[in-house]
Amino acid sequence: MAARYSHLNSIPSGRNVRIIQDRRVLSDAYVPETLPGRDEQILMFEEHLEPLLFNEPPSHMAFTGMAGTGKTAVAKHVLRHKSEELRGAPVRFIYINCSQANTSYRVMYQLNRAFGILVPPSGYPYDVLEDNFRKAFLEADVRMFLVLDEVDLLVRRDGGRLLYSLTRMNYDLDLRRNSVTVLGISNTLNFLDRLDRRVLSSYNPDRIFFQPYSADELYNILLQRARLGLRPGSWEDAALRRIAAKVAREGGDARRAIDLLRMAATLAERDRSGKLTEDHVEQAEIRVDESEVQVAIRTLPFHHLLVLKAAVDLLLAGDPRPGTGKIYERYERYARRFLVSPLTMRRVSAILRELESQGIIEIEMSYGGARGNTKVVRGTALPPLRLKEILNEVTRV
DNA sequence: TATCCACCGGAAGATGGGGTAT
DNA sequence: ATACCCCATCTTCCGGTGGATA
């Protein structure tokens, strides 16, 4: 039996060209045993959870920091250890990511499920779900520690309604037995400032700030992943250093560093040289950008495509910084050509912002006085010509 | 100094498409 | 069949914005 698959191990010229040993380690979803560069935050978080050991309610918390600074990793890492330490104690840890559950209803739906209640995922009165949850929570007779990851996405929609009613519950509970504690994780630094007074007075979290990773910290992260996921001796140190330096310059996003490492390792494996070098990193930089933008564009709704097409065509026609007005004019023509009625300028203006937040275009405000305050497309993630090619592929269907 | 330009972006409401309950 | 409910997307409305211009 084994012999049948022996060709999998036979490598030409006896050299080992495999590089990746465990691909899972090279994904940002993987949470390693230690988190380089985040000792301070881990310690602070653990201290905040200390009261649970004495059956007392911890205070609410907020993690803030740019994308890829380890907020989610620290939360998961610490919670994993704490829930073992507190095994058997009347404590319930719940993690909910608000990028999927971005309305009060959907978070409440998840909370119902967490307490074993099955309710329809939509079409049901919200009040019923809230009542369900309250009853089940009291029934369970526990302290709840709820992590709301990417909570800013939820707050943007519901205005803090859920945050308020959850934290407000503590005022009606017997805190000697039950409590609700919320940890909100947010990518936007000012999300607390945007909360309503009433919400803030009952949520009022202790904050832990996550600064961007330095080049050294990124290097340590990459080294850790390489040791865990790559074949020993299959990478050049300079390759890791190069990723670390580049990503640190761009803003210290560990997710991006890990993406680059995975892509570089994949490319290195593909060319069968058996070693991951700086050259592979250089190729990976282009590939990662390209594939991210391609995926983003492919999933764009139709009107977004038309708006993007209008902007790209203006750039190609020689306008270095096309503004909303011109883009809208051209977009209108395209819409009619495709026999759909054009959206309003208000909406197109918002679509430009959405294209920006997807990293497809770069926008800058232009305070042009008599010519108006306008958004201006300053640049694109890929060369305009390349974008046009991708757009043509997508709109052909 | 007042006014204007040309768009910004928040708020609220309409619309239509998904669902559940009776 | 009817009466609800949730939700994403879009429109309508409207008070800013800040240099240019009168």
- The domain ranges of chain A are 39-210, 214-292, 300-396
Pairing of strands A361-367, A373-380: antiparallel
Q: Say whether the CB atom of A266 is under 7 angstroms from strand C.
A: no
Q: Say whether the CB atom of A126 is under 7 angstroms from strand B.
A: no
Strand ranges in chain A using DSSP code E only, listed in sequence order: 61-65, 91-97, 143-149, 179-186, 206-210, 361-367, 373-380
Q: Say whether the CB atom of A177 is under 7 angstroms from strand B.
A: no
Q: Report d(CA A304, CA A302) in Å as an integer.
A: 5
Q: Which residue is nearest to nucleotide B3 (CA to C1')?
A: A370
Check if CATH label 3.60.20.30 holds for domain A300-396.
no
Counting as low any pLDDT under 70, the low residues of chain A are 1-15, 369-371, 396-397
CA of A347 to C1' of B15 (A): 15
Report pLDDT for A369: 67
CA of A346 to C1' of C11 (A): 9
Mean pLDDT of chain A: 93
Whether A251 contacts A65, CB under 8 Å: no
Q: Report d(CA A179, CA A59) in Å as an integer.
A: 10
CA of A319 to C1' of B1 (A): 36
* Gyration radius from chain A CA atoms: 25
Q: Which residue is nearest to nucleotide B21 (CA to C1')?
A: A124
CA of A129 to C1' of C1 (A): 27
Q: Which residue is nearest to nucleotide C6 (CA to C1')?
A: A123
Residues A379, A383, A384: CA angle, nearest 5 degrees: 75
Q: Say whether the CB atom of A323 is under 7 angstroms from strand B.
A: yes
The protein footprint on chain C, as nucleotides within 7 A of a CB, is: 4-14, 16-21
At A148-184, the pLDDT tens digits run 999 999 998 888 999 999 999 999 999 999 999 999 9
Report pLDDT for A1: 42
Report pLDDT for A26: 97
CA of A335 to C1' of C8 (A): 21
Q: Say whether the CB atom of A16 is under 7 angstroms from strand C.
A: no
Report pLDDT for A370: 67
Q: Say whether the CB atom of A120 is under 7 angstroms from strand C.
A: no
pTM recorded for the entire structure: 0.90
Q: Say whether the CB atom of A344 is under 7 angstroms from strand C.
A: yes
Q: Nearest Cα to A383, choosing from A331, A316, A328, A334?
A: A316
CATH of A214-292, one of 3.40.50.170, 1.10.8.60, 3.30.930.10, 1.25.40.10: 1.10.8.60
Q: What is the assigned CATH class of domain A39-210?
A: alpha beta
Q: Nearest Cα to A131, choosing from A141, A117, A151?
A: A117
Report pLDDT for A15: 60
